[in-house]
Structure 1
Amino acid sequence: MATWQCVKQCGACCHLDPAYRPDLHDYLSPEELELYLSMVGEEGWCINFDKNRRECRIYPNRPRFCRVEPEVFEDMYGITPEELNDFAIECCQEQIEGVYGDRSLEMLRFNKAVGYLAKG
């Protein structure tokens, strides 16, 4: 069984371009939406993402919407703790594919880390 985990030096989730997330207002409060939009920088990347080191500069203090935690996903998306693992894997795969491509090194590293075997 595949088990979700964050893969260091990926950063796909740090690509915040609202053009690719038209439903932000569905799961962010007005205050969170304002914060989110204030974090969108050059080419849609989070202003707190260090592109050279490929890591978050504010990781310990990152906003709630940047956290993959059961209570956050249940509140924001209605995802139960039992559903979180599969949901998070699918979210990461979609985001990595959109940012880097489905055959990218980032996708390969993520799938290997979580123990995901492609079907087909």
Structure 2
Amino acid sequence: MATWQCVKQCGACCHLDPAYRPDLDEYLSPEEMELYLSMVGEGGWCVNFDRTTRECRIYPYRPRFCRVEAEVFEDMYGICPEELNDFAIECCQEQIEGVYGDRSLEMLRFNQAVGYIYKEG
């Protein structure tokens, strides 16, 4: 069974371009939306993402919407804790594919880290 985990120096989730996330208003409060939009920088990347080291500069203090935690996902997306693992894996795969491509090193690293085995058919 695949188990979700964050893969260091990926940063796909730090690509915040609202053009690729049209449903933001469905799960962000007005205050969170304002914060989110203030974090969008050059090329749609988060202003707190260090593109050289590929790490978050504010990771311990990152906003709620940047956290993959059961209570956050239940509140924001209605995902029960039992479904979080599979949902988080799918979200990361979609985001990594959109930012880097489905055959990227980031996708390979993520799938290997979580133990995801692609099944054809």
- TM-score tier after normalising by the smaller chain length: over 0.9
Instruction: State the partner residue of 1:23.
Output: 23
Alignment of 1:58-97 (within 5 A): 58-97=58-97
Instruction: State the partner residue of 1:11.
Output: 11
SS at match of 2:7: coil
1:17-69 CA deviation, whole Å, 9 max, x = no partner?
00000000000000000000000000000000000000000000000000000
Alignment of 1:30-41 (within 5 A): 30-41=30-41
Q: CA RMSD in A?
A: 0.2
Give the gaps of 5 or more residues in structure 2: none
Deviation (angstroms), 1:70? 0.1
Instruction: State the partner residue of 2:2.
Output: 2
| C-alpha distance in structure 1 between counterparts of 2:3 and 2:40, whole Å | 29
Give the gaps of 5 or more residues in structure 1: none
Deviation (angstroms), 1:10? 0.1
Runs of 4+ in structure 1 displaced over 2 angstroms?
A: none
Alignment of 1:101-112 (within 5 A): 101-112=101-112
Give 1:72's aligned amino acid.
Answer: V
What TM-score does the superposition give when structure 1 sets the normalisation length?
1.00
- Tell me how many residue pairs correspond in the alignment: 120
